[in-house]
Amino acid sequence: MREKIPVIRLRTDTGRLVARDGVILCFFMRRSHHEVAPAVWRALQAYLRAIPPQSLNWYGSDDGDTLPLDDKGWEHIRWQILERSWGAEWLVDLEEDDSAVGGYHFEYDGRKLDDPGFSLDKNSTSGVTFSFPTEYLLEHGPAHLRSLVLELARELPFSFGYASLAFVAPHGLWYAARRDLIDPLSRYLGMDLYHLNDTSRVIGTRARGAYWLTFLGQPLLGQLGGIESMRHKLSFPEVSFHSLGGERLLLTLGEWPDAIDTAQKIYLPQYRALAHLLEPFLYEERTGWISLDKDNMRRWLRRLCQ
């Protein structure tokens, strides 16, 4: 429900905003960059049509600078995604604000997976994220956002994907305020904490967890028994099933995304049921993120399996 979505602003000691509440869309594709680049570009165009004009104003250049996303910048982004043929990794980072975290953000990490000499990890993927401020969800409603997410998903040959309430923090900026994350992370089990580069490097064709919108591609959907098996195992009135082409499935776990506030003793059995089904197929993080203890991250990824 809309009234259950928390307002979150995390800042560093100097006052810089590094994380805020919002909605994150993540897709992981076990395909090389050259196979997915046109689809990623089309999905980016759909995202741009859906968000307010000039919501993305800055981009990360190849040398690490943040530059204005003007006509010249867009020429560079198009070249980076569609035309650059050399290299092992294609990174695109489009931001709303160059000095603090905004609600709108696009990030793409494409990798060369079909050449063992370039692949960074046997479980690497090409990954992409799109973010929205919570205000976008509240203004347009969950049905509109779900429809948009479906439009983006149809373009992408994902193996796993999701949309969720989240601590929106591009490329792990939340790390600067990680001590302040401990309380909201333990309270709001439905809020996602993400780092595209780290996850896309190791997730392979496995799952990341149970989310408001959970996209299952192959081979994961087949390993779970297929669409009919999922219908039988998740026979909750709140859950809907939407079959996509190529033996892919969208699971919707409720009308609205839910932060799952433990202080309110909210229990959403459909989330926990899906989490238990996915648990044997969850990937393992290589870093601790919040601390050097990788077990902390392992427990957090399995928080809904308890």
- CA 80 – CA 294 distance, rounded (Å): 34
The pTM score is 0.94
Helix (H, G, I), strand (E, B) or coil at 75: helix
As a whole number of angstroms, the distance between CA 222 and CA 137 comes to 32
Spatial CB neighbours of 49, under 8 Å, sequence gap ≥ 6? none
The two three-digit tokens of residue 249, written as one number = 């499935």
> What are the two backbone dihedrals, phi and then psi, of residue 128, each rounded to the nearest 5 degrees?
-145, 145
**pLDDT at position 42:** 97
Q: In sequence order, what are the beta bridge partners of 20? A: 9, 168
Opening angle at CA 184, ends 180 and 188, nearest 5: 165
Range of the domain at 250: 2-305
Cα 271 to its chain centre, rounded Å, is: 17
Three-state SS at 303: helix
Cis ω before 219 (30° cut-off from 0): yes
Compute CA 280 distance to the chain's CA centroid, rounded to the nearest angstrom: 20
Instruction: Specify the pLDDT at position 116.
Output: 62
For residue 206, the model assigns a pLDDT of 96
Hey, what amino acid is at 207?
Answer: A
Residue 250 half-sphere exposure toward CB, CA atoms < 13 A? 20
Number of domains in the chain: 1
**What is the residue-level pLDDT of the chain in tens, covering all 306 positions?**
556 799 999 888 888 888 899 999 999 999 999 999 999 999 999 999 999 999 999 998 877 788 999 999 999 999 999 999 888 899 999 999 877 788 999 999 999 987 766 545 789 999 999 999 999 999 999 999 999 999 999 999 999 999 999 999 887 777 777 777 878 888 999 999 898 988 999 999 999 999 999 999 999 999 999 999 999 999 999 999 999 987 899 999 999 999 999 998 777 999 999 999 999 999 987 665 555 456 777 788 888 887
Question: Of 132, 155, 202, 105, which is closest to residue 92 (Cα–Cα)?
Answer: 105
Residue 262 neighbours by CB distance under 10 Å: 14
Q: What angle do CA 29, 35, 39 make, to 5 degrees?
A: 75
SS3 content of the chain, % helix, strand, coil (to 5): 40, 25, 40
What single letter denotes the amino acid at residue 256?
A: W
Classify residue 208 by burial, with Cβ atoms within 10 Å: 0-12, 13-18, 19+.
buried
Assigned token pair, 267: 């229990």
Q: What does R_g of the chain's alpha carbons equal in angstroms?
A: 18
